[in-house]
Amino acid sequence: MSLRIVLIGQAAFAEKVLEGLVARGDDVAAVYCPPDGARPDPAKAAAEAAGIPCHQPPSYKPDAVRAEIAALSPDLIVLAFVTKIIPAAVIEVPRLGSICFHPSLLPRYRGGSAINWQLIRGESVAGATVFWTDPGIDTGPILLQREVPIDENHSAGSLYYKAIFPVGVDLMVESVRMIADGTAPRQVQDEAAATYDPLCRDEHAAIDWSRPVREVHNLIRGCDPQPGAFTGAGSARLRLYDSRIVEGAGAPGTVLALDDTGLTIATASGAVRLGKARVDGTKEKKAAAAAATDVGLAVGSQLLSG
C-alpha cells in the first residue's frame, strides 16, 4: 500500500529519503525545504527531477502554510532533517500523523546537537531513531531505532555521513512501509532515561589542555566540523580538526611537533595530533602545521586553554 506524503526536510538526507519513497511507490504530493542559499538544496533538486512540487517557506508558523499543506490531503508528513520549528498545527494535519528522524537513541540526547554531544561525552554507541512527532522536542513515541557503533576517531561529520546517515535513510523508508502496512508501533519514551542538550556552540568548544587526553580528543572531534574546538595561540584563536591520540608528553598545551604529519600538542596525559586547523577570521581550513605557522607557533610554543 502506498501513502500520500508531504516531505519536509533539507540537504542530502531529505534527498535520499525522497528517492526511497519514490522508489517505494508512494505518492509524494510535495516537498518543503529551506529557501535557496548559495546553491539549490539537494532536496529541491531531487523534487524537481521527479516532477514533484517544491515549496520553500521561510517559516511554517503562518496559517497560510498550514492551509497549503492541508489542501494537499496528505496521509503522512515525513520530517527528514528539519532545523526549523514545525508547529503542532502542521504536524497534526495528516490523518496518520507525522514522523521524524533523530540521530540518537532516544530518549537520550534530545536536541539539535545530539551527534556532537555523544562524541564529546565519549559514547561508544550512537544510533538513529524514527519517532512520531508531538508538540515537544524529540519527545514523541518511538517507531524504529537502530544502534550505530562509534569509531574512536569518528568526528561529528564522519559519524553522521558515514554511519548514521545511511541507517537513518533506511529507517525512514522502512517506517513508512510499516505505517502503510498498519504495523508501526508507538513506544512511549521513558522520561526517567531522557536527556537533553543545548546546541553545541563556542561556549562549549574551548579546549582545556590540562584535561586528560581522551577528553580533549573527544571535544575536538565532537566539535568537528562545527563549531570547531578552539585554543588560544598568542593573540590569535586557532580551531582544530581531524584529531588523533598519539604518544607524547610535555606541559599541557605545549606544541610537541609541527610537520607534515600534523600539529601535535601535549595534554595532561598524552598528546593529540591535529590534521587540519583554521585561524579565526579566515574561511578555509589548512594543514594544521601551516595554520599553526601562520600564527607564529613553533615546537615548544605554549597554547592557551580556551
Contact 135, 157 (CB under 8 A): no
Q: What is the DSSP letter of 160?
A: I
- pLDDT, tens digit, for every residue of 207-225? 999 999 999 999 999 999 9
Query: Do the bridges between strand 236-246 and strand 271-279 make them parallel or antiparallel, or are there none, so unpaired?
Result: antiparallel
Collapsing DSSP to helix, strand or coil, 90 comes out as: helix
- Return the pLDDT at 197: 96
Domains of the chain, start order: 4-193 (3.40.50.170), 202-294 (3.10.25.10)
- Return the pLDDT at 60: 97
Helical pair 11-24 and 165-181, crossing angle rounded to 10 deg: 40
- Return the pLDDT at 147: 98
- Return the pLDDT at 185: 98
Q: Kindly give the parts of the chain with pLDDT less than 50.
A: none
Contact 207, 120 (CB under 8 A): no
- Return the pLDDT at 304: 85
- Return the pLDDT at 114: 98
Q: Tell me the H-state helices in the chain.
A: 11-24, 42-49, 63-71, 88-91, 114-120, 156-158, 165-181, 213-222, 288-294
- Return the pLDDT at 39: 86
